[in-house]
Amino acid sequence: MKRIFSGVKPTGHLTLGNYLGAVRRWVEVDQHRSDSLFSVVDLHALTVEHDPARVRRLSRQAATLLLAAGLDPKLCTLFVQSHVDEHARLSYLLECTATDGELRRMIQYKEKGARALAAGEGVRLSLLTYPVLMAADILAYGTDEVPVGEDQTQHVELTRDLAVRFNQRCGQVFTVPKATHPEVAARVMDLQDPLSKMGKSHENAAGIVYLLDDEDTVRRKVMRAVTDSGTDVAYDREGRPGVANLLNLLAAATGGSPEDLAGAYQSYGALKRDTADALVALLRPVRERHAELAADPGYVDQVLRDGAERARGMARPLVDRAYRAIGLLPAG
Ligand code: AQP
């Protein structure tokens, strides 16, 4: 059976981008066809300025939302990354495998580093090294596939490079994983800035649909989405990114292809109204289930405890093997 690993970091409230790019497939496909692990990767939230109480709150909220979206602890393993020491243990070995140059080439390091400097903040060393921790998250479980949005492609490529390099130098330890993406909405764009991806840590909430937004808020955000000065509806990702984003969202929510849907509309207003309706219907059950689960934090805690125990049991033998392969003397 295939092994699948993926995660979400608690840097903000989960968005429609997280849902369509990753979580919905975890729920509808991945947990049914594989031995899958899904993690709230909280250590990754410490790579930029953070408020400790907020990270704790968002970690619990993310886990609750993943369950509300339909992850089933009987089918998959759901856990918090920092509850399983093997991730940090393996990360160091992979730091000894990666080079400074390849980490400095990471797009997210360049973009987030520039943002931190512009805000007058220091760039944390962990912002440079976290793709290695992400590689450890994936490799610790002998992962075959990593279902992610398109923005994570470069990090999964790095993970593959590190696995191959480690195996060549130290002997076969790691499975070389591959990234998989959804067919539609692999990159959901910001509704106010359709050239940027919808990211949960971005500042302007007007362009971001959060999974917990109420229905009026979702409608307002979609109706105010930036389009362009044209009037006819056509699917052109480069020339008309705002309209293409709406068509992708409508296609992801209702099925069908964005190109075909474009032909069904004569005005941006009608496209926005139908997209808003479809998103409201898509998100309603998740929001309602979240409210029920949030009222029972004991259940969520128990799921996370069980998940961490299972994850530890899977990761430890493989990480121990990597320690021996790289030349470290086994204890006792
Ligand atoms: N806009 C998006 N479209 C499609 N997929 C997306 N994902 C994120 N945004 C989009 C996918 O969701 C999974 C979890 O994402 P994450 O928590 O690693 O990153 P984020 O939501 O993008 O959060 P941040 O803090 O705003 O991150 P940065 O600034 O790093 O982008 C992943 O599979 C991701 O691909």
Q: How far is Cα of residue 201 from the mean position of the Cα atoms in its chain?
A: 12
Q: pLDDT at position 185, please?
A: 78
Torsion sign over Cα 28, 30, 36, 39: negative
The secondary structure of 224-264, three-state, reads CCCCCCCCCCCCCCCCCHHHHHHHHHHHHHHCCCHHHHHCC
* Dist. CA 259 → ligand 1 center (Å): 25
Residue 108 is encoded by which pair of tokens? 């997210």
Query: Does ligand 1 have an atom closer than 6 angstroms to the CB of 11?
Result: yes
Q: Which residues are marked as active site?
A: 112, 197, 200
Determine the 3-state secondary structure of 319 from DSSP: helix
| 171: alpha, beta or left? (left if phi > 0; alpha if psi -120 to 50) | left
Domains of the chain by range and CATH? Answer: 3-181+296-326 (3.40.50.620), 205-291 (1.10.240.10)
Helices 153-170 and 125-139 meet at what angle, rounded to 10?
70
The identity of residue 80, as a single letter, is V
Q: Which atom of ligand 1 is nearest to the CA of 152?
A: 35
Show the low-confidence residues of the chain (pLDDT under 50). Answer: none
Strands (E), 126-258: 145-147, 178-180
Query: Does ligand 1 have an atom closer than 6 angstroms to the CB of 59?
Result: no
* Dist. CA 281 → ligand 1 center (Å): 22
- Whose CA is closest to atom 10 on ligand 1? 17
Query: Does ligand 1 have an atom closer than 6 angstroms to the CB of 196?
Result: no
For the chain, the residue count is: 332
Q: What angle do CA 103, 49, 312 make, to 5 degrees?
A: 65
Q: Are 209 and 253 in contact (CB under 8 A)?
A: no
* Dist. CA 275 → ligand 1 center (Å): 21
Q: Which atom of ligand 1 is nearest to the CA of 148?
A: 33
Determine the 3-state secondary structure of 129 from DSSP: helix
Query: Does ligand 1 have an atom closer than 6 angstroms to the CB of 227?
Result: no
Distance between CA 183 and CA 233 in Å, rounded? 21
Query: Does ligand 1 have an atom closer than 6 angstroms to the CB of 148?
Result: yes
Distance between CA 23 and CA 14 in Å, rounded? 10
* Dist. CA 245 → ligand 1 center (Å): 16
Distance between CA 250 and CA 151 in Å, rounded? 21
> Where do we find the tokens 């130098």?
169
Query: Does ligand 1 have an atom closer than 6 angstroms to the CB of 217?
Result: no
Q: Are 99 and 162 in contact (CB under 8 A)?
A: no
* Dist. CA 64 → ligand 1 center (Å): 18
Q: Which atom of ligand 1 is nearest to the CA of 112?
A: 29
Mutate to test the pocket of ligand 1, among 65, 200, 208, 279 (most ligand atoms within 8 A of CB): 200
**Strand 145-147, strand 35-40: pairing:** unpaired
Q: pLDDT at position 86, please?
A: 98
By the 10 Å C-beta count (0-12 exposed, 13-18 middle, 19+ buried), 276 is classed as buried
Closest CA to 216 of 276, 274, 285: 276
Q: pLDDT at position 228, please?
A: 82
Determine the 3-state secondary structure of 218 from DSSP: helix
Query: Does ligand 1 have an atom closer than 6 angstroms to the CB of 21?
Result: yes
Residue 293 is encoded by which pair of tokens? 């689960």
Q: What angle do CA 185, 191, 197 make, to 5 degrees?
A: 55
* Dist. CA 151 → ligand 1 center (Å): 7
Stated pTM of the model? 0.95
Q: Which atom of ligand 1 is nearest to the CA of 48?
A: 25
Query: Does ligand 1 have an atom closer than 6 angstroms to the CB of 108?
Result: yes
Query: Does ligand 1 have an atom closer than 6 angstroms to the CB of 282?
Result: no
Task: Return the number of other C-beta atoms located less than 10 Å from residue 169's C-beta.
Answer: 11
**Strand 35-40, strand 3-8: pairing:** parallel
Q: pLDDT at position 315, please?
A: 98
The identity of residue 172, as a single letter, is Q
Residue 207 is encoded by which pair of tokens? 């362009």
